[in-house]
């Protein structure tokens, strides 16, 4: 029995964290507990670790203290207590992972049971990737320790964009095209990838800062003219003609003929000075207008041509606008995870 | 009038008016000739008046008022002259780019009342107009005078009115206008019930003036 106990203790010792993390321990009581664990003095480990937890510890120290308790309870076959201790470990540090090759099966199974008894989102990963918008995706991986409603989104200064919402359990692999519902790419900028899991009153979340950048887009400029086609003047000056004088003659002649024709024979020939005044003015005006440069008049053919040209340019610009929309949607997207901000001080 | 006000008025006159809707008003000087009943009874004279017209799209409204002083012409059998105040009004609607139909009234009152015939009638007709150059338009119109009424009684089954008009833009809003009217009223009277006799009336009027368009 004592030999088996010793072997388990050895395994528990192997499961101890790397020397680097042990060196990070500042609390003296916890250091002594670590040393007791190294020396396989489990009763002392229990008492010192419990004593350390009553003191002021940083988060990693507190997690380490619970971890020492978990390993020790596991070695002492107190599985339920080991599970409780490991639950505290993962609640403090959800990313904590045990190496099955270095940890005793009892401790590992207790850790595994502890993981399944709390709702956690852990091991959130997004790889650096680069792809053309609409033609590629960014893989997102994370683990949910219990069946839960999981909402995944990115939040940034440009807005909040939903990636996925669904019921998940265990390892989750998502593919994010980084596109908006209208097909446009998500605007470039710094975002935080947030995964929120909710199961009843329990909730857990994990986040990862990321940076999304866009490549250059070669859009086609809009046209103001069609090459080889020029607008034509919409008015033209007609050639000089005798038309104004002719029309003045026609109208004056009509009035004169009408006057002469309608004059009453019984009243004799009437006075012609009135029509002489007005008719003379009309003829002089007609003569002057004949000599004057004619006023520009609308050139119907040119107006029609210009309208067709404008319509053609508008149509071509509409095509260019559509083409540019597609080009902007097919921009090169580069996605890179950013380091997480440093953790807080002691808890 | 101050110099500033005169300058503003000149600027307003120099600016062209919008063609789709336009209002024109101005004074006119008139020459007139009037004959009645027989070749010997003829008058000539001059007068002053005013004309106003307004166009809105295809609709044209026009009115003239002229006060004429007519004296017996040389060789006339008349012994005294008279004055006549003539009011004409037309409402025309364009039915083609160069033609319109019109409806109007004519009213000529004489003073003393029975020295010549006062006339009132409704006129129906058409006019043709053509822009012979920039800002220059000639008009020819023919109206039938419907059932004219005379102060001395009688009827005139055939009564016609012909007109020639000219409008020239002189500068900006300032227009020169000239209009000629020939009016023939085939009046017939039946004095004392002895049978109808002809008492025709013939008038020619020329009006020359300026106008301002808005």
Q: Kindly state whether residues A40 and A87 are assigned to the same domain.
A: yes
Q: CB contact, 8 Å: B210 with chain A?
A: no
Domain housing B40: 22-213
What pLDDT does residue A9 have? 42
Question: A282, A283, A296: best mutation site toward chain B, by most B Cβ within 10 Å?
Answer: A282
CB-nearest partner of A262 from B128, B162, B208:
B162
Tell me which residue has tokens 């024709």.
A261
Per-residue model confidence (pLDDT) at position A82: 92
CA-based nearest distance A307→chain B, Å = 24
Question: CA-to-CA distance for A79 and A85, rounded, in angstroms?
Answer: 10
**Cα separation of A280 and A249, whole Å?**
10
A265–B contact, CB cutoff 8 A: no
pLDDT, one tens digit per residue, over A235-263 is 998 888 888 999 999 999 999 999 988 88
Q: How many CA atoms, within 13 angstroms, populate the side-chain half-sphere of residue A204?
A: 24
Number of H helices, E strands in chain A: 10, 9
Q: From A94, A117, A140, give the residue that closes a domain.
A: A117
Interface test with A, best of B126, B144, B158, B182 (most A CBs within 10 A): B182
> For chain A, what is the domain count?
3
CATH number of the domain encompassing residue A196: 2.60.40.2550
B-contacting residues in A 90-119 (Cβ below 8 Å): none
In a domain, A173, yes or no: yes
* Backbone CA torsion sign across A43, A46, A49, A54: negative
How many CB pairs lie under 8 A apart between chains A and B?
124
Chain A residues with CB under 8 Å of B180 CB are 255, 274-275, 277-279
The verdict on residue A75 lying in a domain is yes
* Structural domain span for residue A143: 121-217
Statement to judge: residues A109 and A129 lie in one domain? no
Q: What is the CATH number of the domain that holds A28?
A: 1.25.40
Claim to verify: residue A207 and residue A263 sit in the same structural domain: no
The answer on pLDDT for A131 being more than 70 is yes
In a domain, B155, yes or no: yes
Digit-by-digit pLDDT tens for chain B (214 residues) are 456 555 545 444 444 444 568 899 999 999 999 988 887 888 999 999 999 999 998 999 999 999 999 998 888 787 888 999 999 999 999 999 899 999 999 999 998 877 888 999 999 999 999 988 888 999 999 999 998 998 888 888 889 999 999 999 998 889 999 999 999 998 888 877 788 888 889 999 999 999 998 8
Based on the domain organization, do A208 and A250 belong to the same domain?
no
Both A16 and A87 in one domain: the answer is yes
> Does a structural domain hold residue B45?
yes
Residues A89 and A181 in one domain: no
* pLDDT at residue A345 in the model: 39
Query: Taking a C-beta distance cutoff of 8 angstroms, is the pair B88, B64 a contact?
Result: yes
Q: What is the pTM for the complete model shown? A: 0.53
Q: Give how many domains chain B has, as a whole number.
A: 1
Q: Is B166 exposed, middle or buried (0-12, 13-18, 19+ CB in 10 A)?
A: buried
CATH code for the domain in which residue B161 is found: 2.40.128.100
A207 with A130, same domain: the answer is yes
Q: Please identify among residues 20-79 of chain B the ones whose CB lies closer than 8 Å to any CB of chain A.
A: 31-33, 35-39, 42, 44, 73
Q: Does B187 touch chain A (CB under 8 A)?
A: no
Instruction: Flag whether B16 is in a domain.
Output: no
Residue A278, chain B, CB below 8 Å: the answer is: yes
- What mean pLDDT do residues A139-166 have? 92
Span A174-218, pLDDT tens digits: 999 998 888 888 999 999 999 999 998 889 999 999 999 998 888
Whole-number pLDDT of residue A135: 87
pLDDT tens digits, one per residue of A63-120: 999 999 999 998 888 889 999 999 999 999 888 888 888 888 888 999 999 998 999 9
Cβ(A130)–Cβ(A152) under 8 Å? no
Is A32 in the same domain as A69? Answer: yes
The complex's ipTM? 0.86
Q: Is B206 on the interface with A (CB under 8 A)?
A: yes
Cβ distance B184 to A252 less than 8 Å, yes or no, reads no
* Nearby residues of A68 by Cβ (< 8 Å), 6 or more positions away: A33, A34, A37, A45, A49
Strands (DSSP E) contained in chain B are 21-36, 38-56, 59-72, 82-96, 99-111, 119-133, 136-150, 159-171, 174-185, 188-189, 197-198, 201-213
Q: Which candidate from B33, B37, B133 shows the least CB-CB separation from A270?
A: B33
**Residues A315, A246 share a domain:** yes
Mutate to test the interface with B, among A237, A245, A246, A267 (most CBs of B within 10 A): A267
Give the minimum alpha-carbon distance from A326 to chain B in angstroms, rounded to a whole number: 47
> Is residue B5 a part of any domain in this protein?
no
Instruction: Find the CB nearest A266 among B39, B130, B179.
Output: B39
Residues A69 and A126 in one domain: no
Query: Is A344 within the bounds of a domain?
Result: no
């Amino acid at each position: 029995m004592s030999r088996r106990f010793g072997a388990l203790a050895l395994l528990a010792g192997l499961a101890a964290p790397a020397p680097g993390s042990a060196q990070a321990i500042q609390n003296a009581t916890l250091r002594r507990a670590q040393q007791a664990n190294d020396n396989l003095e489990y009763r002392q480990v229990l008492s010192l670790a419990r004593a350390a937890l009553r003191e002021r510890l940083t988060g990693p120290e507190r997690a380490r203290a619970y971890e020492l308790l978990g390993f020790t309870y596991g070695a002492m076959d107190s599985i339920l207590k080991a599970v409780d201790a490991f639950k505290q470990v993962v609640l403090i540090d959800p990313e904590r992972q045990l190496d099955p090759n270095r940890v005793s099966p009892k401790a590992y199974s207790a850790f595994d049971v502890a993981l399944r008894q709390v709702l956690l989102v852990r091991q959130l990963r997004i790889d650096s990737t680069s792809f053309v918008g609409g033609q590629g995706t960014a893989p997102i991986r994370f683990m949910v320790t219990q069946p839960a409603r999981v909402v995944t989104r990115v939040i940034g200064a440009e807005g909040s964009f939903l990636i996925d919402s669904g019921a998940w359990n265990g390892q989750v692999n998502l593919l994010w095209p980084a596109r908006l519902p209208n097909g446009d790419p998500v605007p470039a900028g710094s975002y935080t990838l947030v995964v929120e899991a909710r199961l009843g009153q329990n909730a857990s979340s994990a986040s990862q800062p990321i940076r999304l950048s866009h490549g250059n887009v070669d859009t086609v400029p809009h046209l103001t003219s069609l090459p080889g086609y020029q607008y034509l003047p919409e008015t033209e000056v007609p050639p000089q003609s005798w038309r104004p004088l002719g029309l003045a003659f026609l109208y004056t002649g009509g009035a004169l003929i009408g006057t002469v024709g309608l004059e009453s024979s019984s009243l004799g020939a009437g006075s012609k000075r009135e029509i002489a005044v007005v008719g003379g003015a009309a003829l002089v005006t007609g003569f002057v207008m004949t000599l004057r440069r004619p006023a520009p008049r609308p050139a119907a053919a040119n107006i029609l041509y210009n309208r067709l040209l404008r319509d053609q340019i508008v149509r071509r610009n509409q095509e260019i606008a559509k083409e540019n929309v597609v080009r902007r949607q097919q921009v090169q997207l580069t996605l890179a995870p950013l380091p997480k901000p440093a953790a807080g001080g002691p808890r | 009038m101050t110099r500033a006000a005169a300058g503003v008025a000149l600027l307003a006159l120099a600016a062209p008016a919008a063609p789709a809707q336009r209002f024109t008003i101005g004074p006119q000087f008139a020459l007139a000739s009037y004959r009645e009943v027989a070749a010997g009874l003829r008058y000539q004279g001059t007068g002053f008046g005013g004309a106003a017209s307004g166009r809105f799209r295809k609709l044209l409204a026009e009115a003239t008022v002229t006060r004429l002083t007519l004296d017996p012409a040389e060789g006339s059998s008349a012994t005294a002259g008279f004055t006549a105040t003539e009011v004409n009004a037309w409402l025309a609607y364009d039915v083609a780019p160069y033609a319109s139909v019109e409806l109007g009234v004519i009213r000529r009152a004489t003073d003393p009342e029975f020295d010549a015939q006062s006339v009132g009638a409704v006129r129906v007709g058409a006019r043709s107009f053509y822009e012979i150059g920039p800002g220059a338009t000639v008009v020819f119109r023919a109206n039938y005078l419907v059932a004219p009424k005379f102060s001395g009684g009688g009827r005139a089954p055939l009564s016609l009115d012909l007109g020639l008009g000219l409008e020239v833009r002189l500068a900006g809003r300032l227009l020169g206008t000239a209009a000629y009217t020939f009016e023939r009223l085939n009046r017939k009277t039946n004095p004392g019930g002895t049978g109808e006799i002809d008492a025709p009336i013939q008038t020619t009027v020329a009006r020359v003036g300026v106008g301002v368009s808005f």
